[in-house]
Copies of this chain bind each other. A is one copy, B any other.
Amino acid sequence: MIHLITRPTLLLDESKCRKNITSMFEKAKRNKVQLRPHFKTHQSHEIGRWFRDLGVNKITTSSLSMAEYFTNDNWQDITVAFPVNILEIDTINLLAGSIKLNLQVESVEVTKMLDEGLRYKINAFVKIDTGDHRTGIAFNNYALIDSVVASISKSDHIKFSGFITHAGHSYLSKGIEEISRVHYETTERIIKLKDKYSGRYPELIISTGDTPTCNVMEDFSGVDEIRPGNFVFYDLMQSRIGSCRTDEIAVAMACPVVAIHKERNEMVIYGGAVHFSKERIEDQVCGTIFGQVVEESREGWGEPIEGMYLTKLTQEHGIVHVPDHLIDKNKIGDVVLILPVHSCLTSHEMKAYVTTKGRIISRF
Protein backbone atom coordinates (compact mmCIF):
# COMPACT_ATOMS: atom_id res chain seq x y z
CA MET A 1 0.00 0.00 0.00
CA ILE A 2 2.71 2.48 1.06
CA HIS A 3 4.50 2.10 -2.29
CA LEU A 4 1.48 3.77 -3.93
CA ILE A 5 1.74 6.95 -1.87
CA THR A 6 3.02 10.09 -3.57
CA ARG A 7 1.61 12.88 -1.37
CA PRO A 8 0.79 13.36 2.33
CA THR A 9 -1.86 10.75 3.07
CA LEU A 10 -3.74 9.88 6.26
CA LEU A 11 -3.58 6.12 6.74
CA LEU A 12 -6.25 4.36 8.76
CA ASP A 13 -5.75 0.97 10.33
CA GLU A 14 -9.33 -0.27 10.12
CA SER A 15 -8.71 -3.20 12.39
CA LYS A 16 -7.32 -1.02 15.24
CA CYS A 17 -10.14 1.48 14.73
CA ARG A 18 -12.86 -1.19 14.89
CA LYS A 19 -11.21 -2.64 18.00
CA ASN A 20 -11.24 0.77 19.68
CA ILE A 21 -14.93 1.15 18.83
CA THR A 22 -15.85 -2.34 20.07
CA SER A 23 -13.84 -1.93 23.22
CA MET A 24 -15.59 1.34 24.18
CA PHE A 25 -18.98 -0.08 23.20
CA GLU A 26 -18.43 -3.09 25.48
CA LYS A 27 -17.19 -0.99 28.34
CA ALA A 28 -20.35 1.14 28.15
CA LYS A 29 -22.53 -1.98 28.03
CA ARG A 30 -20.68 -3.58 30.95
CA ASN A 31 -21.22 -0.41 33.00
CA LYS A 32 -24.84 0.04 31.91
CA VAL A 33 -24.10 3.53 30.65
CA GLN A 34 -25.41 4.84 27.33
CA LEU A 35 -22.68 5.35 24.71
CA ARG A 36 -23.34 8.45 22.59
CA PRO A 37 -20.03 8.68 20.69
CA HIS A 38 -18.76 12.05 19.54
CA PHE A 39 -18.41 11.93 15.77
CA LYS A 40 -16.28 15.09 15.48
CA THR A 41 -13.10 13.01 15.37
CA HIS A 42 -13.82 10.85 12.33
CA GLN A 43 -16.63 12.88 10.65
CA SER A 44 -17.24 10.03 8.24
CA HIS A 45 -20.45 8.26 7.22
CA GLU A 46 -18.62 4.98 6.78
CA ILE A 47 -16.86 4.99 10.14
CA GLY A 48 -20.16 6.05 11.70
CA ARG A 49 -21.70 2.88 10.30
CA TRP A 50 -19.11 0.77 12.13
CA PHE A 51 -20.76 2.06 15.32
CA ARG A 52 -24.25 1.46 13.95
CA ASP A 53 -23.32 -2.16 13.18
CA LEU A 54 -22.86 -2.66 16.94
CA GLY A 55 -26.24 -1.15 17.72
CA VAL A 56 -25.29 2.46 18.51
CA ASN A 57 -28.10 4.83 17.50
CA LYS A 58 -27.39 8.05 19.39
CA ILE A 59 -24.47 10.31 18.50
CA THR A 60 -22.82 13.62 19.34
CA THR A 61 -21.53 16.28 16.95
CA SER A 62 -19.81 19.61 17.57
CA SER A 63 -21.75 21.69 15.05
CA LEU A 64 -25.13 21.85 13.40
CA SER A 65 -23.48 21.41 9.99
CA MET A 66 -21.95 18.17 11.19
CA ALA A 67 -25.35 17.10 12.53
CA GLU A 68 -26.82 17.77 9.06
CA TYR A 69 -24.09 15.64 7.49
CA PHE A 70 -24.92 12.69 9.76
CA THR A 71 -28.68 13.20 9.39
CA ASN A 72 -28.04 12.57 5.70
CA ASP A 73 -26.82 9.11 6.66
CA ASN A 74 -29.97 8.52 8.67
CA TRP A 75 -28.82 9.23 12.23
CA GLN A 76 -32.00 10.20 14.07
CA ASP A 77 -30.88 11.20 17.57
CA ILE A 78 -28.09 13.78 17.70
CA THR A 79 -26.72 15.92 20.52
CA VAL A 80 -24.86 19.03 19.38
CA ALA A 81 -22.31 19.44 22.18
CA PHE A 82 -21.66 23.12 21.57
CA PRO A 83 -23.42 26.18 23.04
CA VAL A 84 -26.50 27.00 20.92
CA ASN A 85 -25.54 29.41 18.16
CA ILE A 86 -28.82 31.28 17.88
CA LEU A 87 -27.82 32.78 14.53
CA GLU A 88 -28.33 29.29 13.07
CA ILE A 89 -31.97 29.07 14.16
CA ASP A 90 -33.03 28.14 10.60
CA THR A 91 -30.73 25.11 10.62
CA ILE A 92 -31.93 24.21 14.12
CA ASN A 93 -35.52 24.20 12.85
CA LEU A 94 -34.59 22.16 9.78
CA LEU A 95 -32.98 19.53 11.98
CA ALA A 96 -35.58 19.66 14.75
CA GLY A 97 -38.27 19.00 12.14
CA SER A 98 -36.69 15.75 11.07
CA ILE A 99 -34.68 14.18 13.95
CA LYS A 100 -34.51 14.09 17.73
CA LEU A 101 -32.26 17.08 18.29
CA ASN A 102 -30.60 17.71 21.64
CA LEU A 103 -29.01 21.10 22.22
CA GLN A 104 -26.85 22.59 24.95
CA VAL A 105 -27.90 25.78 26.77
CA GLU A 106 -26.33 27.71 29.60
CA SER A 107 -28.27 30.97 29.86
CA VAL A 108 -31.84 32.19 30.26
CA GLU A 109 -31.19 34.57 27.40
CA VAL A 110 -30.52 31.76 24.91
CA THR A 111 -33.43 29.66 26.18
CA LYS A 112 -35.76 32.61 25.51
CA MET A 113 -34.33 33.24 22.06
CA LEU A 114 -34.70 29.55 21.26
CA ASP A 115 -38.27 29.49 22.52
CA GLU A 116 -39.14 32.43 20.27
CA GLY A 117 -37.44 31.00 17.19
CA LEU A 118 -38.33 27.30 17.42
CA ARG A 119 -41.02 25.82 15.20
CA TYR A 120 -40.38 22.23 16.30
CA LYS A 121 -39.56 20.57 19.61
CA ILE A 122 -36.03 20.10 20.81
CA ASN A 123 -34.43 18.67 23.94
CA ALA A 124 -32.06 20.78 25.96
CA PHE A 125 -29.21 19.86 28.26
CA VAL A 126 -27.96 22.46 30.69
CA LYS A 127 -24.22 22.76 30.22
CA ILE A 128 -22.27 22.53 33.49
CA ASP A 129 -18.69 23.62 34.03
CA THR A 130 -17.20 20.97 36.30
CA GLY A 131 -13.69 22.42 36.20
CA ASP A 132 -12.62 22.80 32.57
CA HIS A 133 -13.64 26.49 32.41
CA ARG A 134 -14.17 26.47 28.66
CA THR A 135 -17.87 27.17 28.96
CA GLY A 136 -20.99 26.19 30.97
CA ILE A 137 -22.50 27.27 34.29
CA ALA A 138 -20.27 26.68 37.32
CA PHE A 139 -21.38 23.40 38.97
CA ASN A 140 -22.12 25.21 42.23
CA ASN A 141 -23.92 28.25 40.80
CA TYR A 142 -27.28 26.86 41.87
CA ALA A 143 -29.12 30.15 41.37
CA LEU A 144 -28.23 30.33 37.69
CA ILE A 145 -28.78 26.60 37.13
CA ASP A 146 -32.22 26.99 38.69
CA SER A 147 -33.12 29.93 36.46
CA VAL A 148 -32.05 28.15 33.29
CA VAL A 149 -33.90 24.93 34.19
CA ALA A 150 -36.98 27.03 35.01
CA SER A 151 -36.81 28.95 31.73
CA ILE A 152 -36.61 25.64 29.85
CA SER A 153 -39.60 24.25 31.72
CA LYS A 154 -41.65 27.29 30.77
CA SER A 155 -41.09 26.71 27.05
CA ASP A 156 -43.53 24.59 25.04
CA HIS A 157 -40.82 23.85 22.50
CA ILE A 158 -38.04 22.73 24.78
CA LYS A 159 -37.88 19.63 26.91
CA PHE A 160 -35.36 19.54 29.76
CA SER A 161 -33.11 16.50 29.27
CA GLY A 162 -30.60 16.86 32.07
CA PHE A 163 -27.07 18.07 32.60
CA ILE A 164 -24.09 17.80 30.30
CA THR A 165 -20.42 18.40 31.03
CA HIS A 166 -17.07 17.96 29.32
CA ALA A 167 -13.99 17.45 31.49
CA GLY A 168 -11.66 18.79 28.81
CA HIS A 169 -9.03 19.44 31.46
CA SER A 170 -8.44 15.66 31.60
CA TYR A 171 -6.33 16.27 28.45
CA LEU A 172 -3.84 18.11 30.64
CA SER A 173 -3.37 15.10 32.91
CA LYS A 174 -0.06 13.42 33.45
CA GLY A 175 -0.93 9.74 33.86
CA ILE A 176 -3.79 7.60 34.94
CA GLU A 177 -3.94 8.90 38.51
CA GLU A 178 -4.58 12.46 37.39
CA ILE A 179 -7.18 11.33 34.84
CA SER A 180 -8.86 9.38 37.60
CA ARG A 181 -8.86 12.41 39.90
CA VAL A 182 -10.46 14.57 37.17
CA HIS A 183 -13.06 11.87 36.60
CA TYR A 184 -14.10 11.53 40.25
CA GLU A 185 -14.16 15.28 40.80
CA THR A 186 -16.23 15.90 37.65
CA THR A 187 -18.65 13.10 38.40
CA GLU A 188 -19.11 14.12 42.02
CA ARG A 189 -19.81 17.71 41.00
CA ILE A 190 -22.40 16.91 38.36
CA ILE A 191 -24.12 14.07 40.24
CA LYS A 192 -25.09 16.51 42.98
CA LEU A 193 -27.34 18.14 40.40
CA LYS A 194 -29.02 14.83 39.69
CA ASP A 195 -29.84 14.43 43.38
CA LYS A 196 -31.18 17.98 43.44
CA TYR A 197 -33.40 17.84 40.32
CA SER A 198 -34.40 14.21 39.82
CA GLY A 199 -37.41 14.55 42.12
CA ARG A 200 -38.95 17.08 39.75
CA TYR A 201 -37.44 15.60 36.58
CA PRO A 202 -37.23 11.82 37.12
CA GLU A 203 -36.10 11.21 33.53
CA LEU A 204 -33.18 13.62 33.60
CA ILE A 205 -29.87 12.22 32.50
CA ILE A 206 -26.27 13.06 33.35
CA SER A 207 -24.06 13.16 30.26
CA THR A 208 -20.26 13.25 30.65
CA GLY A 209 -17.34 11.81 28.87
CA ASP A 210 -14.10 12.87 27.32
CA THR A 211 -11.84 10.17 25.88
CA PRO A 212 -9.25 10.07 28.69
CA THR A 213 -11.71 9.46 31.54
CA CYS A 214 -13.91 7.11 29.47
CA ASN A 215 -10.95 5.03 28.46
CA VAL A 216 -9.16 4.84 31.77
CA MET A 217 -12.08 4.49 34.22
CA GLU A 218 -14.31 1.55 34.97
CA ASP A 219 -16.61 3.17 37.49
CA PHE A 220 -19.30 5.40 35.98
CA SER A 221 -21.78 5.31 38.88
CA GLY A 222 -24.32 8.09 38.66
CA VAL A 223 -23.52 8.83 35.02
CA ASP A 224 -26.18 7.92 32.46
CA GLU A 225 -24.41 8.68 29.20
CA ILE A 226 -20.81 9.05 27.95
CA ARG A 227 -19.73 10.94 24.84
CA PRO A 228 -16.07 10.12 24.05
CA GLY A 229 -14.87 10.82 20.50
CA ASN A 230 -11.13 10.73 20.10
CA PHE A 231 -10.85 7.05 21.16
CA VAL A 232 -11.90 6.02 17.66
CA PHE A 233 -8.35 6.85 16.50
CA TYR A 234 -6.46 8.00 19.62
CA ASP A 235 -3.18 9.89 19.01
CA LEU A 236 0.17 10.83 20.47
CA MET A 237 -1.37 13.22 22.99
CA GLN A 238 -3.64 10.48 24.36
CA SER A 239 -0.75 8.03 24.63
CA ARG A 240 1.36 10.68 26.39
CA ILE A 241 -1.23 11.26 29.10
CA GLY A 242 -1.74 7.55 29.62
CA SER A 243 -5.14 7.33 28.00
CA CYS A 244 -4.14 4.74 25.37
CA ARG A 245 -1.29 2.50 24.30
CA THR A 246 0.66 3.53 21.18
CA ASP A 247 -0.41 0.31 19.44
CA GLU A 248 -4.05 1.42 19.73
CA ILE A 249 -3.46 4.57 17.65
CA ALA A 250 -5.40 3.88 14.45
CA VAL A 251 -4.19 6.68 12.15
CA ALA A 252 -0.78 7.67 10.85
CA MET A 253 0.31 10.26 8.32
CA ALA A 254 2.36 8.95 5.40
CA CYS A 255 4.72 11.65 4.08
CA PRO A 256 7.34 11.66 1.31
CA VAL A 257 10.93 12.52 2.29
CA VAL A 258 12.12 15.37 0.05
CA ALA A 259 15.47 16.42 1.54
CA ILE A 260 17.98 15.19 4.12
CA HIS A 261 20.29 17.40 6.18
CA LYS A 262 22.65 14.95 7.79
CA GLU A 263 24.80 17.66 9.38
CA ARG A 264 21.91 18.67 11.62
CA ASN A 265 20.15 15.27 11.92
CA GLU A 266 17.12 16.44 9.96
CA MET A 267 14.88 15.24 7.15
CA VAL A 268 12.46 17.50 5.30
CA ILE A 269 9.12 15.87 4.52
CA TYR A 270 6.20 16.87 2.33
CA GLY A 271 3.71 17.30 5.17
CA GLY A 272 3.16 20.60 6.96
CA ALA A 273 0.74 22.62 9.05
CA VAL A 274 -1.99 22.19 6.42
CA HIS A 275 -1.73 18.41 6.81
CA PHE A 276 -0.95 17.82 10.51
CA SER A 277 -2.44 21.03 12.01
CA LYS A 278 -0.20 22.97 14.36
CA GLU A 279 -1.33 21.11 17.46
CA ARG A 280 1.76 20.47 19.55
CA ILE A 281 3.11 18.66 22.56
CA GLU A 282 5.67 20.41 24.74
CA ASP A 283 8.03 17.57 25.54
CA GLN A 284 10.37 18.10 28.48
CA VAL A 285 13.26 16.41 26.69
CA CYS A 286 12.63 17.06 23.00
CA GLY A 287 10.94 20.47 23.15
CA THR A 288 7.99 21.13 20.85
CA ILE A 289 6.85 18.14 18.80
CA PHE A 290 4.13 17.75 16.17
CA GLY A 291 4.30 13.99 15.66
CA GLN A 292 6.49 10.92 16.08
CA VAL A 293 7.76 8.58 13.38
CA VAL A 294 6.76 4.91 13.64
CA GLU A 295 8.29 1.80 12.12
CA GLU A 296 6.74 0.56 8.91
CA SER A 297 5.38 -2.98 9.13
CA ARG A 298 3.77 -5.51 6.84
CA GLU A 299 0.30 -4.64 8.11
CA GLY A 300 0.81 -0.89 8.37
CA TRP A 301 2.97 0.38 11.18
CA GLY A 302 4.54 -0.75 14.42
CA GLU A 303 6.01 1.07 17.39
CA PRO A 304 7.16 4.71 17.58
CA ILE A 305 10.86 5.24 16.97
CA GLU A 306 12.71 6.69 19.95
CA GLY A 307 14.01 10.19 19.22
CA MET A 308 12.45 10.50 15.75
CA TYR A 309 10.10 13.45 16.03
CA LEU A 310 8.38 15.97 13.81
CA THR A 311 9.88 19.12 15.31
CA LYS A 312 8.83 21.94 12.99
CA LEU A 313 5.97 22.67 10.62
CA THR A 314 5.46 25.42 8.09
CA GLN A 315 2.65 25.47 5.53
CA GLU A 316 3.72 22.40 3.53
CA HIS A 317 7.15 21.51 4.99
CA GLY A 318 7.77 19.30 8.00
CA ILE A 319 11.12 18.85 9.72
CA VAL A 320 11.85 15.46 11.26
CA HIS A 321 14.66 15.02 13.77
CA VAL A 322 16.55 11.79 13.06
CA PRO A 323 18.87 10.16 15.62
CA ASP A 324 22.49 9.51 14.56
CA HIS A 325 22.11 5.77 14.11
CA LEU A 326 19.19 6.21 11.70
CA ILE A 327 20.33 9.14 9.58
CA ASP A 328 21.88 6.91 6.90
CA LYS A 329 18.90 4.57 6.78
CA ASN A 330 16.51 7.16 5.38
CA LYS A 331 16.66 8.44 1.84
CA ILE A 332 14.93 10.92 -0.43
CA GLY A 333 11.87 9.34 -2.04
CA ASP A 334 11.07 7.22 1.04
CA VAL A 335 7.71 7.58 2.73
CA VAL A 336 7.77 7.99 6.52
CA LEU A 337 4.83 7.18 8.79
CA ILE A 338 4.07 9.62 11.59
CA LEU A 339 1.65 9.43 14.51
CA PRO A 340 -0.15 12.77 14.77
CA VAL A 341 -0.37 14.75 18.02
CA HIS A 342 -4.12 15.31 17.74
CA SER A 343 -6.02 12.99 15.40
CA CYS A 344 -9.23 15.11 15.43
CA LEU A 345 -7.40 18.06 13.88
CA THR A 346 -5.18 16.03 11.54
CA SER A 347 -8.14 14.14 10.12
CA HIS A 348 -9.98 17.45 9.70
CA GLU A 349 -7.04 18.74 7.64
CA MET A 350 -6.76 15.64 5.50
CA LYS A 351 -10.43 15.28 4.45
CA ALA A 352 -10.08 11.57 3.59
CA TYR A 353 -8.62 8.34 4.94
CA VAL A 354 -6.82 5.63 3.06
CA THR A 355 -6.97 2.29 4.85
CA THR A 356 -3.81 0.20 5.18
CA LYS A 357 -5.48 -2.12 2.64
CA GLY A 358 -5.71 0.77 0.16
CA ARG A 359 -9.39 1.71 0.34
CA ILE A 360 -10.38 5.42 0.39
CA ILE A 361 -12.88 6.52 3.05
CA SER A 362 -14.34 9.97 2.54
CA ARG A 363 -15.53 12.35 5.25
CA PHE A 364 -17.44 15.57 5.92
Contact in complex: A135, B259 (CB < 8 Å): yes
Contact in complex: A85, B256 (CB < 8 Å): yes
CB contact list, A244-287 vs B, under 8 A: 256, 258-261, 264, 268, 270, 273-274, 277-280
Residues from chain B with a CB closer than 8 A to the CB of A133 are 264
CB contact list, A80-133 vs B, under 8 A: 82-88, 90-91, 106-107, 109-110, 113, 133
Residue A162 lies at the interface, judged by CB distance under 8 Å to chain B: no
Contact in complex: A259, B40 (CB < 8 Å): no
Residue A31 lies at the interface, judged by CB distance under 8 Å to chain B: no
The segment out of A10-18, A215-223, A314-322 that lies at the interface is A314-322
Chain B nearest CB from A70 CB (Å) reads 15
User: Which of A260, A312, A317 counts the most chain B CB atoms within 10 A?
Assistant: A317
Contact in complex: B345, A87 (CB < 8 Å): no
Contact of A82 among B5, B316, B332 (CB under 8 A): B316
Residue A76 lies at the interface, judged by CB distance under 8 Å to chain B: no
Known contacts: A277-B278, A278-B278, A345-B274. The answer to whether A6 contacts B63 by CB under 8 A is: no
Residues from chain B with a CB closer than 8 A to the CB of A91 are 6
Residue A7 lies at the interface, judged by CB distance under 8 Å to chain B: yes
Q: How many of chain A's residues have a CB under 8 angstroms from any CB in B?
A: 52
User: Which of A87, A273, A280, A319 counts the most chain B CB atoms within 10 A?
Assistant: A87
Residue A134 lies at the interface, judged by CB distance under 8 Å to chain B: yes
Chain B nearest CB from A321 CB (Å) reads 13
Contact of A87 among B256, B264, B344 (CB under 8 A): B256
* Alpha-carbon gap, A256 to B168, bound state (A): 22
Chain B nearest CB from A273 CB (Å) reads 6
Residue A348 lies at the interface, judged by CB distance under 8 Å to chain B: yes
Chain B nearest CB from A32 CB (Å) reads 29
Contact with B along A62-77 (1 / 0, CB 8 A): 1101000000000000
Residues from chain B with a CB closer than 8 A to the CB of A358 are none
* Alpha-carbon gap, A333 to B83, bound state (A): 11
Residue A289 lies at the interface, judged by CB distance under 8 Å to chain B: no
Contact of A345 among B84, B258, B273 (CB under 8 A): B273
Contact in complex: B7, A65 (CB < 8 Å): yes
Residue A182 lies at the interface, judged by CB distance under 8 Å to chain B: no
User: Which of A133, A259, A260 counts the most chain B CB atoms within 10 A?
Assistant: A259
Residue A152 lies at the interface, judged by CB distance under 8 Å to chain B: no
Contact in complex: B134, A317 (CB < 8 Å): yes
Given contacts A107-B260, A113-B332, A135-B268, 15 further A-B contacts (CB under 8 A): A6-B85, A7-B85, A85-B256, A85-B258, A87-B333, A109-B332, A110-B332, A133-B264, A134-B312, A134-B317, A134-B319, A273-B345, A277-B277, A278-B279, A315-B348
Contact sample, A vs B, 5 pairs, CB 8 Å cutoff: A6-B91, A40-B315, A87-B256, A107-B260, A134-B268
